[in-house]
Amino acid sequence: MTPGDRRPWLPVALLLLQVPGCWCLSGPTSVTGTVGGSLSVQCQYEEKFREIAKYWCKSPCLGDIVKIEKSDKEVRNGRVSIRNHPANLTFTVTLENLTEGDAGTYRCGIDTSWLPGYMIDLTFRVVVSVTPGLHRTLPAPTWSTMTPKESPNPSQYPGPSPESHPVEDQASKGAESSLFSRIYFWLLVFLEVPLLLSTLSAVL
């Protein structure tokens, strides 16, 4: 194949380098976090992009782009931070205090649009999922109080109800009066009968 025959393949090779998600940039395809928690995404790039700016954005990347230049170590924008690790050719994106609205498709990218041979940035798609938290708030216990005007419920006591007290009092009083009557009767028998006999004997 002559050099002239290779020329039609040159645009195709350049096009492959410009396709988002090519092998020049890699990372996890999906990550999951919980509401109120945090998650991190680590994107890997090649040596030739060590000094190139990196960024993180929510697709279609029209706004809320967190970008870190080659001289920056960490950049924060609200609940999102991005940190570059040139030693191992990675940059890490951290999302904190997650909400259900944070779920969606994001892209970690390299700003290559100004480099020769690149018409668009290199990006890698990451799907973020946010699940509800496992801990749920339990309702506060309610406590019932009894005011001084309230009276206790008789059914709450295992013993006899307050209404039965007058009946018991009347029964005890009846038993006492019967006992006194018997004692008085026997006193009359043992005291008055001898006195009556002595009186009759005196008369006779």
pLDDT in tens, 86-115: 999 999 999 999 999 999 999 999 998 888
The percentage of residues in the chain with a pLDDT greater than 70, rounded to a whole number, is 58
Q: What does the pLDDT look like over 142-185, one tens digit per residue?
A: 544 444 455 555 555 555 554 445 555 565 666 666 666 777 66
Output the pTM of the full model.
Answer: 0.55
| Contact of 40 with 96, CB cutoff 8 Å | no
User: What is the C-alpha to C-alpha distance for residues 13 and 10, in angstroms, rounded to an integer?
Assistant: 5
The two structure tokens encoding residue 186: 């026997």
Residue 136 has pLDDT above 60, yes or no: no
Strand locations in the chain (E) = 25-26, 30-34, 39-45, 54-58, 66-68, 74-77, 80-85, 90-95, 104-110, 122-131
Residue 85 has pLDDT above 80, yes or no: yes
- Of 30-34, 36-40, 99-103, 109-113, minimum mean pLDDT range: 109-113
